[in-house]
Structures are given as structure tokens and as C-alpha cells.
Amino acid sequence: MSKKTRTQHDIDAREQAIQRWEARSAIPLAIFAVFFLALWAVQVLAPLTDVEWDLVESAILLIWAVFIVDFAVRLYFHSDRRLFLKSNVIEIVALLVPAFRFLRVLRVVTAVGILTRVVQSLQARVNLYIAIVLPMMVFAGSLGVFEAERNVPGASIKTFGDAIWWSCETIFTIGYGDLVPVTTEGKFIAVLLMMGGVAMISVVTANLAGYFLKQQRSPNPPLS
């Protein structure tokens, strides 16, 4: 076997290892992602004692350790690790700086990415985006902005209901202007939601356009 053949064989083996890992870990990691969001909601919305808050935070960090292990495994088996790192900058940032309060919402970006690995086809991913990822982004944005704004003097987002309404306005890029974040954290979350909303609308629109184009190109059924 030549050196070139051995190299290609090694690349193929690594790609197959990543595929097997992602296939086996997708659903468990998706469950962990949902649990992470639920635990964060408990931290933000429930009246916890200091001990209870620390216990919930420990569970969140334990889940985050699982996400880090997943990233490390994919990096280890990737044939071009430099390219892998360049292609996952946001995930790297979200994994390395979970302790910074204003970047906590970045954790949800990683969690959402893990959820999308459950399905492979474009149609299934669009359905997943609409049914699960979009509500998850709205809920996460609401948690983040409520946590950032609720105790700030002069803030207009004072209740979780306000936060949900603001997140819906922002992610669909409507922006009535009735509720506006005043903190740096809140503005950062707004940017993430706007970017996510534009990306979501683009994906759904492109998929619908492709569907209708496919229908037009398909031969008409024979008349009976």
C-alpha cells in the first residue's frame, strides 16, 4: 500500500469514526441540551437559595463538560484539525467562556447546534427549526434578556412576559420599539436574536422556494 493510499485510508477511517460518533451521540446530546435550557430557566425564574442555585449551576457545568468531551472527540478524529477549529469558532467561544454572565446565552447557540445534528435531511431540519429550535431561541433569548434587565433602573423589560414579547419582536425583526434593552448584555442578546431570525427566515424561504420549483419541474400526473 502506497503512502498516498494509506493517507486516504486514514482520512476515510477518521470521517467514518466522526459519523459513527455523531450518529450515536446526537439524541443523548440533544436531551442534555434541553435539560441545560430547563436548568437555566430554573436559575432565572425560580426563587432559589444560594445552595440550590449552586446545585443547579453544578448540574449545568456537568452538562457543559459533556459538550466539551463531544467537541474534543470530533476534533481528535477530524483529518484537518485546523480547518475544524476555524469552522467552529462560535462553538469554541461558547464552550470556553460559560462563566461570563453576558456570554451565557452563547451556550444556547451550542445547544441548538447539537439539536440540529439529530436530523440530516434539509426538510427535516427545516421542520426541526420551526417546531423546536425557533421556540427554543425565543425562550432562551427571553431568559437571557430578563436576567440582564430585570433589576436595572430605567429598564423597560421588567417581567418574563415582557421578555418573551420582546424576543418575538426581535427574532422576527419587527421591532415595535415598545421594549428596548438598556444593558450591554441585553443588546448583545438582541443582536444574536436578530441574526438568528434572519438566518431562520432565509433557510425556510429557500426551502419553500426549492419545494415549489421542484413541484413545477415534476411531470404532470397522467389524466385518468
- Model confidence over 37-80: pLDDT tens digits? 888 899 889 999 999 999 998 998 888 888 888 888 888 888 88
The residue type found at 141 is G
Are 135 and 199 part of one and the same domain?
A: yes
Q: Considering the domain boundaries, does residue 114 fall inside one? A: no
Are 80 and 152 part of one and the same domain?
A: no
43-50 long-range Cβ contacts below 8 angstroms, 24+ apart: 44/143, 44/146, 44/147, 45/143, 45/160
How would you class 107 by CB atoms within 10 Å of its CB: exposed for 0-12, middle for 13-18, buried for 19 or more?
buried
pLDDT in the model for residue 12:
74
Are 80 and 124 part of one and the same domain?
A: no
Residue of 194, 208, 57 whose CA lies nearest to 137:
194
pLDDT in the model for residue 66:
87
Q: Considering the domain boundaries, does residue 153 fall inside one? A: yes
Q: Considering the domain boundaries, does residue 104 fall inside one? A: no
How would you class 207 by CB atoms within 10 Å of its CB: exposed for 0-12, middle for 13-18, buried for 19 or more?
middle
Are 210 and 171 part of one and the same domain?
A: yes
Q: Considering the domain boundaries, does residue 105 fall inside one? A: no
Q: Considering the domain boundaries, does residue 60 fall inside one? A: yes
Are 134 and 70 part of one and the same domain?
A: no
Alpha-carbon distance values, 45 to 26, 36, 199 (Å): 29, 14, 29
Q: Considering the domain boundaries, does residue 222 fall inside one? A: no
Chosen domain end from 42, 61, 96: 96
**Structural domain of 194:** 119-217
Say what the pTM is: 0.72
Are 123 and 92 part of one and the same domain?
A: no
Whether 73 contacts 94, CB under 8 Å: no
Top-confidence residue, 126 or 175: 175
CA distance 123 to 129: 10
Q: Considering the domain boundaries, does residue 81 fall inside one? A: yes
* Number of folded domains that form the chain: 2
Top-confidence residue, 121 or 136: 136
Name the helix (H) or strand (E) containing 200.
helix 184-217
Are 91 and 123 part of one and the same domain?
A: no
Phi first, then psi: give them for residue 160, nearest 5 degrees.
-70, -30
Stretch among 6-10, 81-85, 131-135 having the lowest mean pLDDT: 6-10
